A and B are shown apart, each in its own frame.
Chain A
Amino acid sequence: DTAVSQTPKYLVTQMGNDKSIKCEQNLGHDTMYWYKQDSKKFLKIMFSYNNKELIINETVPNRFSPKSPDKAHLNLHINSLELGDSAVYFCASSPTVLRGAGGKNIQYFGAGTRLSVL
Chain B
Amino acid sequence: LAKTTQPISMDSYEGQEVNITCSHNNIATNDYITWYQQFPSQGPRFIIQGYKTKVTNEVASLFIPADRKSSTLSLPRVSLSDTAVYYCLVGRGMLSNFGNEKLTFGTGTRLTIIP
Contact = CB atoms under 8 A, between A and B. Distances in A.
Contacts of B30: 102
Nearest to A106: B46
A64 interface: no
Interface residues of A, number: 31
Nearest to B45: A109
Contact of B93 (A43, A55, A104, A109): A104
B95 A103 contact: yes
A101 B94 contact: yes
Contacts of A97: 93-96
Where chain B touches its partner, the secondary structure class is: loop
A110 interface: yes
A108 B45 CA distance: 7
Interface residues of B, number: 28
Nearest to B110: A41
Given A31-B95, A92-B43, A97-B94, A56 B105 contact: no
Contacts of A94: 93
Interface in B15-52: 30, 32, 34, 41-46, 49
B105 A43 contact: yes
Interface in B75-99: 85, 87, 91-98
Contact of A48 (B41, B49, B95): B95
A65 interface: no
